[in-house]
Amino acid sequence: MSVPLKVHKPLGARVMAVLHPTFAVLGVALLVLLVDDVGPQELGRVLARAAPWLPLVLLLEVARQSLNAVATWVAYGSRTRDVPFRSILRAQLISAAVSSVAPAGRAAGEATKAALLSPYTGGAPAMAAAATSQVAALVSGGLISLPCTLAAYLLTGASWLTLALGVHALVMLLAGLGMHAGMRAHGPGAWLKHHLHRFAPHTESFQKALHGGVLPPAQPLVATFLGRTLQVVQYGTLAMAVGIDTTALEALVAQGLHLLSMAVGILVPGRFGVSDGAFALSANAFGTTTARAMSIALLAHGMQVLFVLLGSLTPLVWKAPPLPAAQPGRNLDD
């Protein structure tokens, strides 16, 4: 009688399998405590007031997701003609849902897009485009955090918020530029080829598929930065919707808090509880009540949940376009 083989998951996967649901429970518990502390009735009144603004917020989110899709498309460089843009849009919707709930956030979303789009170009170009998009996301996040830091300083002075946003901007820029340099560096690729022979062809194909020079490619970076700029407008709209007197400074601070909570709460699905706490703690920066500040995060969660649902349903209702006759699916090692 044959004995089934036991497949042992890597230690990191087993740790994440425990940490992810644990942080999810902690995040929801924190959110419940915050709602109870602020007052459900007060929050309900603020959210009801914001309802007429939600179609505009939704439109801005659609535009932002479209720009993220454009960033991925142009990240393919000379291979853009091989990937139908409708397939990019489909992959963007699915990856948006993944990035909202997966521990690695945007990185997990980019990996999902690469897997969905690899039949059109092969694995190496798809992963190169995903890595380029991730670099663009990190660098654009750092760049937009610079005016957010300045806005926080003008509103709150040399506060913890100003310091946190400044550190976040620096870390994002260094991470993005460091990742780009590492992708193109000969050293890591040579090490992999020498010590891990089975990865040698993948590493070589991956580096050949990259495009751009010392700096990240401009087109994905510009598209992603425009998406971040739209998000500033979106958070400014949410601030106005809940009754906050909003200028460009408040909109930038709200965007900065969103980016900061994404980084701090990377292990928390949807950043539930983390972003809400960040906005609640920063009510003074907006010159408003805790209920109004926290409502910005609650409305953002609502938009996030909507796109998670859309992304989850996309594979069921939007089938992947067939490959062109001249392009039967390529091997993932191409």
3-state secondary structure of 185: coil
How far is it, in rounded angstroms, from Cα 91 to Cα 326? 22
The b-or-e profile of 140-177 (16+ CB within 10 A means b, else e) is bbbbbbbbbbbbbbebbeeeebbebbbebbeebbebbb
Give the separation between CA 321 and CA 311, rounded to whole angstroms: 17
C-alpha distances in angstroms, 152 versus 245, 251, 328? 16, 10, 53
Indicate the pTM of the whole model: 0.84
pLDDT, one tens digit per residue, over 51-69 is 999 999 999 999 999 999 9
Query: Residues near 88 by Cβ (< 8 Å), separated by ≥ 6?
Result: 69, 70, 72, 73, 113, 117
Q: What is the phi-psi region of residue 65: left when phi exceeds 0, alpha when psi lies from -120 to 50, beta otherwise? A: alpha
Q: What is the DSSP letter of 53?
A: G
- Asked whether the predicted pLDDT for residue 252 surpasses 70, the reply is yes
DSSP 145: H
pLDDT tens, position by position, 109-140: 888 998 999 898 888 888 888 888 889 999 99
Sign of CA dihedral 74, 78, 80, 83: negative
% residues pLDDT > 90 (the chain):
45
What is the average pLDDT value for the chain, to the nearest integer? 82
